[in-house]
């Protein structure tokens, strides 16, 4: 289907095989996307990963990818768990006082606190203090007041003891070449539905850059911290809100999830990272939430050269935008029977083979997929359980 955005024609591609071609097989032609937001020539904002193009994107992505490996998630797990504990304590106080809670606001405070802890080594106590400078300025960033955010970065903040694990530290190590991008995939998670050997090889080839190109400037590093806040706050908070909403509407699902979680806790009432990410029903509940309520409803790519689209007879001309209508695909009866219903069982390991690759795209796909996927999933799973 074609549509116009102003004067610009956009081709929408919803066929799974063609999606695979655009996002994976021919990703060297469709590497760039239209910028997430218009930033003029702002020296920091123009360097955020989602907006970078060509070789600059490849270089920065190959340096930042090792920050999000499962090994790094294991390291960050205790930090995220601390934030979640603070969140649960505050929630319990509301419950004890029989007060109403605005869950969406609370989740916003939590995701902000997690990012502040992990990326900026800063404790916000956001659940109790919504006027905290980090929270106020961070929210303003999302209203696109970029300069306020930069000034916030320069303000002194209460330091967390967990500084050695923060994202800047991990990025510095990646820059020094102490990490590599190869990482084990977790076959237990629904979110790897699209990934076979072919996809992995293409991603590794694209991100395998010359050692002389492994560098990142200070502005680029600040830009990536900015985008972690921007990309990780609202998406994760909205996923948590929708998941709670669906659990409230579906008490049978809630009960089944409760039983799975309770049977997985250790004697201290804690869940180990390795156990958490492999819980099949929890994974299915989150996957179904992201299918029904996917935060990014469309993914876009720009053609770097004239391109014949499969055997459709269509030529996508250089510079034109191709869009994948993720929300429409996720809600299609053809791919998901009873598509408007919340049915986590679709994503259980025994049923997952029925999902057609490239029809489940909450985090995009291919080498330019969501770099923060593992981080988001760890956070959401930890909170929901």
Note the residues at the interface with ligand HEM (CB under 6 A). 33, 49-50, 61, 227-228, 231-232, 235-236, 239, 295-296, 299, 362-365, 368-372, 375-376
User: Which residue, 137 or 203, is less far from ligand HEM as judged by CB?
Assistant: 203
User: Which residue, 227 or 279, is less far from ligand HEM as judged by CB?
Assistant: 227
CA 296 – CA 38 distance, rounded (Å): 17
User: Which residue, 195 or 313, is less far from ligand HEM as judged by CB?
Assistant: 195
Q: Is the dihedral of CA 365, 64, 302, 316 positive or negative?
A: negative
Can you name the residues that pair with 300 across neighbouring β-strands? Answer: 323
CA 303 – CA 31 distance, rounded (Å): 8
CB of 298 to ligand HEM, least distance (A): 9
CB of 267 to ligand HEM, least distance (A): 31
CA 132 – CA 233 distance, rounded (Å): 16
370 is in an annotated binding site: yes
CB of 287 to ligand HEM, least distance (A): 11
CB of 223 to ligand HEM, least distance (A): 10
CA 385 – CA 378 distance, rounded (Å): 11
User: Which residue, 93 or 201, is less far from ligand HEM as judged by CB?
Assistant: 201
CB of 326 to ligand HEM, least distance (A): 7
User: Which residue, 92 or 213, is less far from ligand HEM as judged by CB?
Assistant: 213
User: Which residue, 325 or 364, is less far from ligand HEM as judged by CB?
Assistant: 364
CA 276 – CA 290 distance, rounded (Å): 18
Helical ranges in the chain per DSSP H: 16-20, 54-64, 70-96, 103-120, 133-142, 146-154, 167-175, 197-207, 218-249, 251-262, 273-277, 280-292, 326-330, 373-384
CA 233 – CA 237 distance, rounded (Å): 6
CB of 215 to ligand HEM, least distance (A): 18
CB of 377 to ligand HEM, least distance (A): 8
Say if residue 149 is exposed, middle or buried (CB neighbours under 10 Å; 0-12, 13-18, 19+): buried
CA 52 – CA 35 distance, rounded (Å): 8
Can you name the residues that pair with 12 across neighbouring β-strands? Answer: 323
The position carrying tokens 């920050």 is 67
Q: Is the dihedral of CA 336, 4, 26, 68 positive or negative?
A: negative
User: Which residue, 86 or 372, is less far from ligand HEM as judged by CB?
Assistant: 372
Q: Which residues are annotated as a binding site for heme?
A: 370
Q: Which residues are annotated as a binding site?
A: 370
């Amino acid at each position: 289907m074609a549509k116009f955005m102003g004067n610009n024609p956009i081709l929408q591609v919803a066929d799974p095989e063609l999606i695979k071609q655009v996002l994976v097989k021919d990703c060297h032609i469709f590497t760039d996307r239209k910028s997430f937001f218009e930033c003029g020539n702002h020296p920091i904002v123009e360097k955020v990963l989602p907006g970078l193009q060509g070789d600059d994107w490849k270089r920065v992505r190959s340096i930042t990818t090792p920050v999000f490996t499962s090994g790094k998630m294991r390291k960050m797990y205790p930090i995220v768990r601390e934030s979640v504990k603070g969140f649960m304590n505050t929630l319990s106080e509301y419950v004890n006082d029989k007060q109403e809670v605005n869950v969406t606001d609370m989740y916003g405070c939590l995701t902000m606190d997690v990012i502040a802890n992990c990326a900026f080594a800063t404790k916000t106590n956001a659940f109790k203090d919504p006027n905290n400078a980090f929270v106020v300025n961070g929210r303003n960033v999302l209203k696109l007041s970029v300069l306020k955010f930069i000034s916030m970065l320069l303000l002194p903040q209460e330091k967390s003891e967990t500084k050695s694990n923060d994202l800047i530290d991990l990025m510095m190590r990646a820059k020094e070449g102490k990490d590599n991008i190869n990482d084990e995939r977790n076959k237990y998670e629904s979110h790897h539905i699209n990934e076979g050997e072919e996809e992995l090889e293409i991603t590794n080839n694209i991100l395998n850059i010359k050692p002389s190109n492994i560098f990142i400037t200070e502005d680029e590093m600040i830009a990536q911290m900015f985008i972690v806040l921007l990309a990780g706050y609202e998406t994760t908070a909205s996923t948590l809100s929708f998941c709670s909403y669906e659990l409230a509407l579906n008490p049978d699902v809630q009960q089944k999830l409760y039983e799975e979680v309770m049977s997985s806790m250790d004697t201290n009432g804690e869940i180990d990272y390795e156990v958490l990410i492999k819980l099949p029903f929890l994974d299915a509940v989150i996957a179904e939430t992201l299918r029904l309520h996917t935060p990014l409803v469309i993914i876009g790519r720009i053609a770097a050269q004239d391109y014949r689209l499969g055997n459709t007879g269509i030529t996508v001309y250089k510079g034109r935008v191709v869009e994948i209508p993720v929300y429409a695909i996720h809600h299609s009866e053809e791919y998901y029977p009873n598509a408007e219903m919340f049915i986590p069982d679709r994503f259980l390991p025994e049923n997952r083979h029925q999902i057609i690759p490239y029809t489940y795209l909450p985090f995009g796909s291919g080498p330019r997929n969501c770099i923060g996927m593992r981080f988001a999933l760890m956070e959401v799973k930890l909170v929901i359980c």
